[in-house]
Structure 1
Amino acid sequence: MANALYERMQATAQRLIAKFGQAGVITRLTPPDPILGGDPVPTPYQATLVPMAYEARYVDGTVIKTGDMQIYISSVGLAIEPTVGDVVTANGTDYAIVNGDPNKYDGVTAVVFIVQGRS
């Protein structure tokens, strides 16, 4: 059961991302049919997001590399949960998701998705 506190936090995150963020796209590649084969099919999902560069103190060259972006994605109205392997398009650049945190504090309500994107 969803907690009212987390639903309010989700609404607050959505308002802030809508105010300071931008429209973006999350693209998920659907694997080809195992019997018929074919090419993977890219499926785009519209999202509202805020891309931010990591502070220099967090860039260690192994887990977080120079050029990686921390991307906050509003969970409100998003048809999918961004995962590793998806591609986020922001500022005209494609970022592959290499790490993510769904921020589901109660296990049900995704307050905001925070992902690490690498170009």
Structure 2
Amino acid sequence: MATFDYAEVQAVAHELITEFGQEGTVKRIMPPDPVLGGDGTETSYTATLVPMTYDQRYVDGTNIRSSDRQLYISSVGLAIKPTVGDQALTADGTAYHIVAADPNNYDGVTDVVFIVQGRTSP
């Protein structure tokens, strides 16, 4: 029985996102030290991403708002897995907070592409 090559699918996803996407960053703010306190540390990770508008049939005004964007983020070369609470900043200058994330990791090893729901701050 042949096995499915998720690395090949990851490469195709990366190629498409690179061709049609834009450079952006994923910002993660680490909490301050629990003993010493202080400010949280912000770290930015360069990413290649494509912001997409949700199809209107999925917009319900609560879970998905009309201003939300579906952000396809290439997993190739990205040092982190984008998670809820991270901030993805698109190249056009619009900042989106990640409110839902799906790593598309079907074999438990290879993250094919990260699809996240981005929401602008009010």
Structure 1 residue 4: Cα displacement: 5.5
Runs of 4+ aligned residues of structure 1 deviating over 6 Å after TM superposition are none
Q: How many residues align?
A: 117
Indicate the RMSD between aligned Cα atoms, in angstroms.
0.9
Residue pairs, 1:1-119, within 5 angstroms = 5-90=5-90, 91-119=92-120
SS at match of 2:76: coil
Secondary structure at the counterpart of residue 10 of structure 1:
helix
When the two structures are superposed, what TM-score results if normalisation uses the length of structure 1? 0.96
Q: Find the aligned partners of 1:66 and 1:10 in 2 and give their Cα distance.
A: 29
**2:37 aligned partner, one-letter code:** G
- Residue identity over aligned pairs, in percent, reads 62
Q: Deviations over 1:46-98 (max 9, x none)?
A: 00000011111110111101100000000000000000000000121110000
Q: Take 1:52 and 1:92, find their aligned partners in 2: how far apart are those partners?
A: 15
- Any unmatched runs of 5+ in structure 1? none
Q: Distance in 2 between matches of 1:39 and 1:89?
A: 21
Letter in 1 for 2:79: A
Q: Structure 2 CA distance, aligned partners of 1:50 and 1:22?
A: 6
Between the aligned partners of 2:30 and 2:61, the Cα distance in structure 1 is: 31
Deviation at 1:112, TM superposition (A): 0.1
